[in-house]
């Protein structure tokens, strides 16, 4: 969990194996103390929009990037994406769909709703780790987002 308004990554992932691999890879970057995990779409929306158990969360503590799975329980990833991109504050957060779906329809819908990047999860661990490392490096160190409240 993040502290002091410095959340880097929100991971929205229901598959325990994929989550573990993502966390292990991010641990190599020393980013595991600056992330939050949501295990379904409803929890992700509650976190982002400060509802339910997250109502007291600091509104400045927005993630620098959201890694969002597509096939989620309760609320699917496309609906999470749609709600994020419709919100005047949250829409500036880069969202990366990191999913096993290779369906053209899912890719098209993701971009229709404003995803910043669509990445298909590699099956091989080394490839998966390399993809997560590249995502972390780009979105946290190379990309320059707008200042909070500037949008």
Distance in angstroms (rounded) separating the CA atoms of residues 61 and 2 = 8
Q: Name which residue leads in pLDDT, 122 or 76.
A: 76
The predicted pLDDT at position 3 comes to 40
Contacts of 22 (CB under 8 A, 6+ apart): 11, 13, 67, 98, 132
What pTM value is reported for the model? 0.83
Q: Around Cβ 96, how many Cβ atoms within 10 Å?
A: 20
> Which residue in this structure is represented by tokens 């190599």?
28
Once rounded to an integer, what is the mean pLDDT over residues 96-112?
A: 90
pLDDT band at 1 (very low <50, low <70, confident <90, very high): very low
* 78 or 131, greater pLDDT: 78
Tens-digit pLDDT profile for residues 24-83: 877 876 666 678 999 999 999 999 999 999 999 988 888 888 999 999 999 999 999 999
Domains of the chain: 9-140 (3.40.50.2300)
């Amino acid at each position: 969990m993040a502290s002091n308004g410095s959340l880097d990554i929100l991971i929205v992932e229901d598959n325990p194996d994929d989550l573990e691999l993502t966390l292990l890879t991010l641990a190599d970057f020393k980013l595991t103390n600056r992330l939050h995990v949501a295990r379904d779409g409803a929890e992700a929306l509650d976190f982002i929009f400060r509802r339910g158990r997250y109502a007291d969360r600091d509104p400045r503590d927005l993630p620098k990037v959201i890694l969002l799975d597509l096939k989620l329980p309760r609320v699917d990833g496309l609906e999470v994406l749609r709600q994020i991109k419709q919100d005047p504050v949250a829409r500036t957060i880069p969202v990366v769909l990191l999913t096993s779906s290779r369906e053209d329809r899912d890719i098209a819908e993701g971009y229709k709703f404003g995803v910043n990047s669509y990445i298909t999860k590699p099956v091989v661990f080394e490839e998966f780790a390399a993809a997560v490392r590249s995502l972390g490096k780009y979105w946290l160190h190379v990309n320059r987002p707008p200042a909070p409240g500037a949008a």
